[in-house]
Structure 1
Amino acid sequence: MFPKDKLDASGDASWRRREQVRKRREFFLQALFVLALLLVAGFFVANVESNLATKHVRSGFGFMSDRAGFEISDQLITYSSSDPLWKAFLVGLLNTLRVAGLTIITATILGVVVGLMRLAKNPLLRFLGAAHVEAYRNIPLLVLLLALYLVVTELLPGAREAFHAGSWIYLAKTGLYLAVPQIGTAAVLLALGAGGAVAAGAFVLLRRKLSVWMAAVWSLAVFAVVCVFAWVSCGALSGWDHPTQTRFSMRGGLQITPEFLTLWLGLTLFTSASIAEIVRAGVQSVRTGQWDAAYALGLTHSDAVSYVIFPQALRLIVPPLSSQFMTLTKNSSLAVMVGYPDLVNVGTTALNVTGQALEVICIIMLVYLSVNLVISVVMNAFNARVTAAKI
């Protein structure tokens, strides 16, 4: 009989050979699959190019350097109709990211509040939470956007009769106007930078004593306070640009267009209803014994939710929340129905100007795919952190 160590060595060598054969076979099959996909893609590309050439239609992305030839009403960077098309697409992309980013923040905050309202002991709060969810979850988003756009553009007063709070805020059918520091964009960047830096430091310090959930909440509160303080400080140092009423419109200050207001409010209300249900289900999934243990320790209802229940529910809330964020980003493409110049709206205009339908559609699809992949990666990393955290 062979010694035990020789038998073990022989078994290990045999196992390694089988593993090597298996890996080679899997690699070979995967290579064949990729090659087949490339061949199919090449066939379709060649077929499309042949059809376009037959119809004398120009193909390729060289048109992106051509003159745009159209204006964009809402823009975060300087743009004119004489700029190339790629800059027009960039303006549309920034507008999409702006409305999606702001809506993710507001919809999440409102969704968490409404979700906790549905679990409140007060019957009035429970009724209001249920009414919010049932109303906005059962109305088509497009109908909601059109209704809000009608309210903003038709039912609000004109510029001369605008609702206002002193000379700081004006609300009219032409949009929302805010007083801003004279230095404008620099003030925004300074406020965001200062708030982000202080909030990151606060999260690192608070994470040593609090759960991930509570540290994140306090960090967001610190971020908001520091941003407001930096904004007010910039205004105090440089002076304020106040909006003023003219005969037919408003002048000065920061204008938030009615199209942006409509899209932002509509997406926030619509998405917050789904997020509220996710939060409610996540909290109710926590075992009732956790509530009893929290009350036995003398915690109030709000403290029990904040320090015991919600951190545990977060493990079940985050995965479906990722899908809601990606759905929200895709739903922002309905901006074209209210005239907000997002990526789809700009792409549609560019398609009509250039006739490059296939290329424009590919660009739009690739951008949305990339943005949603980024959201997925970030949320998966956050989910891994929450799941691994000792909460």
Structure 2
Amino acid sequence: MDFLLEPAGFDIGETGGWVVDATAPLWQAMLVGLSNTLRVSLPALALSLLLGAAVGLMRLSPQAVPRRLATAWVEALRNLPLLIQLLMWYFLLLEWLPSPDQALHLGHAVWLSKGGLSFPWWDAVHGQWQWPEPGPFNVSGGATLTPEYLAVCLALSTYTSAYVAEIVRAAVQSVPRALLEAAETLGATPSQVRWRVLRPQAWRVAAPPLANQAINLVKNSSLAVAVGYPDLVSVGNTALNQTGRAVQCIAVMMTVYLALSWGLSWLVNSRLSAPAGHTA
């Protein structure tokens, strides 16, 4: 693996705050790719859990309209390949968003355009906030999430939310009705029944498949190469072409993804399942 110490020989368009250029060693370029993978996977995972939980509970609604809307969401997203959804989000962002010189103003100092989503950011070097300002050609200052990043994050979160919704629905329905009725008989309020009885029992059922979805989301982020987002796979492919070390570069990528998957599995087995077992 001595080739990792050689100069990368290429620049990375989106470094997430890292200072890396073509003269940096290859291992630093791969590290930036890993950082970009985590930078898009973790927010997408949080969004998918929130959105999936909401859609899953909507599927249990006694009202027909929200239940049918949730069912349509799940069936549509589960039956479309993730790559197609990723390309759809990417081209929708490029087609529908205005040009950078006509950026949309979203709230306080937040701007959205074909150049990405710009928002205030704390500059640790100068010890002050940087605020985005629209200019004649683009929005400058602050931090910017590129359209490639936004497309990957949206695709991963919406696609995974469909599976999370089914997990939540099945977990809630797996709790015996008699157990809930017993709690009500003992004088528990509806809120206590939901949080003290239903939630921990449903969590015990939902935790393992949710962990699988988290692992799948991280692995699915490798499709980001299709829209030019410089994740681990994109950087690895560039390194492969630059160095000609195909087997070594692929081995590095496989090792990293295996480590991420094992790490998430360990986290769920040792941490996330503990509250359910303790509460039960």
TM range (shorter): over 0.9
Tell me, what secondary structure is at the counterpart of 1:73?
Answer: coil
1:65 maps to which residue?
Answer: 5
Give the letter for the 1:114 counterpart: V
- 2:210 maps to 1:328: no
Alignment of 1:286-325 (within 5 A): 286-296=175-185, 297=187, 299-300=189-190, 304-325=193-214
RMSD: 1.8
Alignment of 1:1-391 (within 5 A): 61-76=1-16, 77-165=18-106, 168-183=109-124, 239-296=128-185, 297=187, 299-300=189-190, 304-382=193-271, 384-391=273-280
> Contact 1:167–1:179 (CA<8 Å) still a contact in 2?
no
Q: How many matched pairs?
A: 278
> Contact 2:201–2:276 (CA<8 Å) still a contact in 1?
no
Q: Percent identity?
A: 42
> Contact 1:167–1:243 (CA<8 Å) still a contact in 2?
no
CA distance in 2, matches of 1:295, 1:174: 55
Q: Give, in angstroms, the shift of residue 154 of structure 1.
A: 1.9
> Contact 1:326–1:375 (CA<8 Å) still a contact in 2?
yes
CA distance in 2, matches of 1:370, 1:281: 30
CA distance in 1, matches of 2:259, 2:205: 25
Q: Give, in angstroms, the shift of residue 384 of structure 1.
A: 4.4
* Largest Rg, 1 or 2: 1
Q: Alpha carbons of 1:298 and 1:378: their partners in 2 closer, same or farther (altered >3 Å)?
A: closer
CA distance in 1, matches of 2:273, 2:142: 43
> Contact 1:326–1:372 (CA<8 Å) still a contact in 2?
yes
Q: Deviations over 1:323-352 (max 9, x none)?
A: 111111110000100111000000000111
Q: Which runs of 5+ in 1 are unaligned?
A: 1-60, 187-237
CA distance in 1, matches of 2:182, 2:104: 50
Q: Alpha carbons of 1:142 and 1:96: their partners in 2 closer, same or farther (altered >3 Å)?
A: same
Tell me, what secondary structure is at the counterpart of 2:279?
Answer: coil
Q: Deviations over 1:235-288 (max 9, x none)?
A: xxx653211112222110110111111101100000011011011111101101
- Indicate the larger mover: 332-341 or 61-70: 61-70
CA distance in 1, matches of 2:170, 2:157: 20
> Contact 1:315–1:383 (CA<8 Å) still a contact in 2?
no
> Contact 1:179–1:242 (CA<8 Å) still a contact in 2?
yes
> Contact 2:58–2:66 (CA<8 Å) still a contact in 1?
yes
Q: Which runs of 5+ in 2 are unaligned?
A: none
Q: Alpha carbons of 1:383 and 1:251: their partners in 2 closer, same or farther (altered >3 Å)?
A: closer
CA distance in 2, matches of 1:382, 1:271: 22
CA distance in 1, matches of 2:70, 2:218: 24
CA distance in 1, matches of 2:133, 2:160: 35
Q: Give, in angstroms, the shift of residue 167 of structure 1.
A: 5.3
Q: Give, in angstroms, the shift of residue 295 of structure 1.
A: 4.3
CA distance in 2, matches of 1:332, 1:253: 26
Greater share of helix residues, 1 or 2?
1
Moved over 4 A (4+): none
Give the letter for the 1:66 counterpart: E
- Indicate the larger mover: 347-356 or 163-172: 163-172
